[in-house]
Amino acid sequence: MPDNLSIKETADKLDISAASVRALMKKGELEGAFQSPSRAWLIPAEAVSAYKAARREKPRSPTDAYLTCFCLESLRVPSFRPLPNNAA
């Protein structure tokens, strides 16, 4: 594994967009990112591995999935129905 990765390589490794990688760098979640003399951003491979390890999710239980679905359903806006043509 190379010592430093480009934004595109990091995005591919994390399965996210390049814009998301830039946002992570801005928030300081990819520690050690720096700009090379050619002005290209480089991210240490160790920082990418550490980020992946910190973000691994434990498997969700069926109860969690149900609660998420229930909460989203309660936020749903009633469907829009246009007025009949003769109601003016």
Spans of all domains in the chain? 4-74
User: What is the predicted pLDDT for the residue at 78?
Assistant: 59
- Per the model's pLDDT, the better-predicted residue between 76 and 38 turns out to be 38
CATH number of 4-74: 1.10.1660
Q: Is the pTM of this model over 0.85?
A: no
Please name which of 50, 29, 33, 30 lies closest in space to residue 42, comparing C-alpha atoms.
33
Amino acid at 49: S
With cut-offs at 50, 70 and 90, classify the pLDDT of residue 65: low
**pLDDT at site 63:** 57
Greater pLDDT, 48 or 67: 48
The model's confidence at residue 26, banded by pLDDT at 50, 70 and 90, is very high
